[in-house]
Amino acid sequence: MPMGLSNDDLDRIDELVTIRRRIKRGEFLYQNGDPFSSLYAIRTGFFKTSVTTEDGRDQVTGFQMAGEITGLDGIVSDFHSCDSVALEDAEICVMPFDKIEYLSREVKALQHHVHRIMSKEIVREHGVMLLLGSMRAEERLAAFLLNLVKRLHARGFSRSELVLRMTREEIGSYLGLKLETVSRTFSKFADDGIIVVKQRNIQILDPDALNLIVNSQSCA
Amino acid sequence: MPMGLSNDDLDRIDELVTIRRRIKRGEFLYQNGDPFSSLYAIRTGFFKTSVTTEDGRDQVTGFQMAGEITGLDGIVSDFHSCDSVALEDAEICVMPFDKIEYLSREVKALQHHVHRIMSKEIVREHGVMLLLGSMRAEERLAAFLLNLVKRLHARGFSRSELVLRMTREEIGSYLGLKLETVSRTFSKFADDGIIVVKQRNIQILDPDALNLIVNSQSCA
DNA sequence: CGACACCTTGAAGAGGTTCAAGAAATGTGG
DNA sequence: CCACATTTCTTGAACCTCTTCAAGGTGTCG
């Protein structure tokens, strides 16, 4: 992760990732109200985070995959304010936050890395706000697919094929749409020859078309 | 801000807030693309932050008032990715981020304070995602008013009266609504006797009604 | 005082939701 | 390994909320 570290520093940071934990599909990594103690680095598997209101409404706030960090919401109040659920069997590193803070005080590069991770999450959420606040259904789903495939490709997966680990309802919750709208929009993209949909397997035939949908607010 | 500090630590943290800057209404504090160097603590005044896409769409991502910190978006890439504009004449403290990181390595309480500020922003944005993703116009505006008046009250202002520093259009952008919808919803609240609207002066007559609107998704 | 920005309100229209039914996939237990 | 239950997905039709377009009103600042 951070670069330009001495071997000594590297050894100390290695300590952070010694605790491993396996999470089965459907299990919570943490839940709203749980005491906060650690951040979690995802080694394998796929998670979603969501917030829930008293009146039962809930909103998916993100999907996390290998190499990403989750749990940042707990720092401010020492309690988690959202749920994290594994969408497939997963393995994570438990990184006790007091240890992160301790090492951050010693290792400048780690300190900056932590700051960047948090800033990156803030910037990501700005993007989601833009999506939720000003895009139409097709634009939202196109942006979602492009984002997913980009992150998967950065991890060595195909640039054109992906397997959705979440339901239409979870996609809809994330995008501020109903599951029926997500389904219909997939069908429309398929009819237009932009993608092939086979349940949760998506093949992207025309990524440029998706880009065009996102970056041209209906003035096609 | 952070508690339980030695006088020595306090002196050092005081160094962080020595640089002051005045920003006139309508001026940028920073803009998308500006090199990132500092966080800004607002002493007086009122700001909005917004992101803009290539195709000209933009989205207000937040409103900041006295005592709040802005600029966190710049940490991840060393460049700001959003704009910050003063909505009224303001005074801010410029806090060079390298100095913050330096002092954070020395002063544990400051380090944790910085982490909490970033986590708090992440959690706030979760709330906005919930609002944008799952609330209807009336619920959004009610939540917005309650949030604003709560923050103002924490600063010694009235619990029932507030002056909006932003236009209907800016409120709409933040809430994912058109300015006409914002205006109409204000009028409806006024007709229902929940608030009194006189341009940007809002008087809240029935805060419980607003709470009810937020926490009961149409099953009134 | 006049120009400009901001706000309100109406009427028509579009996009997404809701309700409903059926099909396809997945998981479970015998 | 198959039958059945359950979950997930698709599609249609009616409806509703919010948007769009338009016009007029109000406030503000040079």
Torsion angle defined by CA atoms of residues A178, A182, A184 and A185, in that order, rounded to the nearest 10 degrees: 130
For B179-209, the pLDDT digits (tens) are 999 999 999 999 999 999 999 999 999 999 9
Please give the helix or strand (H or E) that residue A189 lies within, else none: helix A179-191
Measured over all CA atoms, what is the biggest interatomic distance in chain A, rounded to whole angstroms?
Answer: 57
Q: Which two tokens stand for residue A44?
A: 């394998």
Which are the contacts of A65, defined by CB distance < 8 A and separation ≥ 6? A42, A45, A46, A47, A151, A152, A155
Scored b (16 or more CB within 10 A) or e, A9-41 reads beebbeebeeeeeebeeeeebbebebebbbbbb
pLDDT tens digit sequence for B117-133: 999 999 999 999 999 99
Distance CA B28, CA A164 (A): 41
Inform me whether the C-beta atom of residue B53 falls under 8 Å from chain A C-beta atoms: yes
* pLDDT by residue, tens only, chain A of 220 residues: 556 677 777 888 888 889 999 999 999 999 999 999 999 999 999 999 999 998 889 999 999 999 999 999 999 999 999 999 999 999 999 999 999 999 999 999 999 999 999 999 999 999 999 999 999 999 999 999 999 999 999 999 999 999 999 999 999 999 999 999 999 999 999 999 999 999 999 999 999 999 999 987 654 4
Q: Within 13 A of B205's CA, how many CA atoms are on the CB side?
A: 9
CA A78, distance to chain mean position in Å, is 22
User: What is the amino acid identity at position B157?
Assistant: F
How many interchain CB pairs under 8 A, A with B?
155
Residues 182-201 of B with CB under 7 A from strand D: 184, 199
- Measure in Å the smallest separation between the Cα of B183 and chain A Cα atoms: 17
In angstroms, the CA B19 to CA B40 distance is 10
Residue B118 CB coordination number (10 Å) = 23
Query: Interhelix angle for B97-106 vs B108-134, to 10°?
Result: 120
Structure tokens at B183: 């205006």
**Which pTM does this prediction carry?**
0.96
Q: How many residues does chain B have?
A: 220
- Residue B155: how many other CB atoms lie within 10 Å: 9
d(CA A171, CA A166): 7
Contact: B61, A104; criterion CB under 8 Å: no
Nucleic strand C within 7 A of Cβ A148: no
Element (H, E) at A146: helix A137-154
Residue B67 CA to residue A214 CA, distance in Å, equals 37
- CA atoms of B141 and B129, how far apart (whole Å): 14
* Contact assignment for B58 to A134 by CB distance below 8 Å: yes
- CA dihedral defined by B82, B117, A58, A139, rounded to 10 degrees? 10
